[in-house]
Amino acid sequence: TFNRHPRSLTKNIQIPFLITPKEKFKLLDEWGLDLCILANFNQSFANLSAQAFCEEILKKRLGIREVVTSSSFRFGKDRTGDIELLKKQDISVKVIKLLKVKDEVVSSTLIRNLIKQAKLKEAVIFLGRDFSVLGKVIPGEKRGRVLGYPTANLKVVYPLNLPGGVYAVRAEVNGKEYNGLSNIGFRPTFNGSAEHPTMEVHLFNFAGDLYNQKIRIVFKKKIRNEIDFSKNKSLLLKQIRKDKEKAKKILATADTRRCHSEALAEESLFSKKYGIATSAQRVDSQ
């Protein structure tokens, strides 16, 4: 796996992670993978020809004897490498069918597009779990506390792909789960900057100090778009109350978020179907 999406370098466009590499390692560990190599996708790596990638990386450095992939697999500079090239390099190839759900091919691009449109329920179908982000609580301006709705301001470790607005969420804090509201956006009511979107969370029935803690926010449903109350801030409190009541109703009927291991246990049928080992206990990165 790569430390960045290839197109973020080759096309100079920002493509957000669905999960961080560290979280990916944890998932793969639960799935029983022996080894995961994190490659630094830099310009030198991107310029490797398909032939050089086979000879220098796959064969000489890694000693690869078999590759399990789909028929559409391409690799090397300008994506010139394919299954036939692997075979010519005496590398055995096991071709598997692309995984489909409801006649749609499961792909990170599809999932990102669903999340970008806040279609969270649909994204779960292809992701196998609720979309979530991990963030560190940083100091804020304490406006929420003054309003009676204290919020935790989060610095997330990768770019958010969600559109701005208010969401019903569940938060994982020190092994406990809390319902809450999250606002993603530019805080127009308080002269927020369009260059610096923020993410803040109000947890229901929580009392305590969260500063410098890492918490996971699980997004269940978008409630509304961001609204500018700068001309009538008295309406802001009324809207927050409405949002909170709506979130409570959504979260009362929402499925409890499946943990990674539960989601992967269901997906183990995939590994059995294609003969992928699931007995190992360790994942390494290099």
Overall residue count recorded for the chain in this entry: 286
> How high is the pLDDT of residue 53?
96
Q: List, as one string, the DSSP characters of 171-196.
A: EEETTEEEEEEEEEE--GGGT--TTS
Residues of the chain with CATH 3.40.50.620: 6-101
> How high is the pLDDT of residue 254?
78
What are the CA-CA distances from residue 66 to residues 84, 86, 261 (Å)?
A: 13, 9, 27
Backbone angles phi, psi at 202, to 5 degrees: -110, 120
Distance of alpha carbon 219 from alpha carbon 132, whole angstroms: 6
> How high is the pLDDT of residue 283?
31
User: Tens of pLDDT along the chain (286 residues)?
Assistant: 898 889 889 888 888 888 888 888 988 999 899 999 999 999 999 999 999 999 999 999 999 999 999 989 999 999 999 999 999 999 999 999 999 998 999 999 999 999 999 999 999 999 999 999 999 999 877 666 657 788 899 988 666 789 999 999 999 999 999 999 999 987 644 455 545 578 999 999 998 889 999 999 999 999 999 888 777 777 888 999 999 999 999 999 876 544 443 444 444 333 443 333 333 222 333 2
Minimal CA–CA distance to 50: which of 74, 16, 67, 28?
74
CA 4, distance to chain mean position in Å, is 13
> How high is the pLDDT of residue 263?
42
Distance of alpha carbon 123 from alpha carbon 239, whole angstroms: 28
Residues of the chain with CATH 2.40.30.30: 130-257
The residues, ordered by sequence, that sit 6+ positions from 6 with a Cβ below 8 Å of its Cβ are 41, 46
Q: Both tokens of residue 282? A: 């360790």
- 21 burial level (CB within 10 Å; 0-12, 13-18, 19+): middle
Rounded to 5°, angle at Cα 158 from 246 and 214: 65
Distance of alpha carbon 21 from alpha carbon 27, whole angstroms: 10
Q: Considering the domain 130-257 in this protein, what is its CATH number? A: 2.40.30.30
Whole-prediction pTM: 0.80
Which 3 state secondary structure label does DSSP give 140?
Answer: coil
> How high is the pLDDT of residue 276?
36
> How high is the pLDDT of residue 278?
33
Q: Which H/E stretch holds residue 147?
A: helix 143-147
> How high is the pLDDT of residue 286?
29
SS3 sequence of 11-78: CCCCCCCCCCHHHHHHHHHHHCCCCCCCECCCHHHHCCCHHHHHHHHHHHHCCCCEEEEECCCCECHH
> How high is the pLDDT of residue 120?
96
Class of domain 6-101: alpha beta
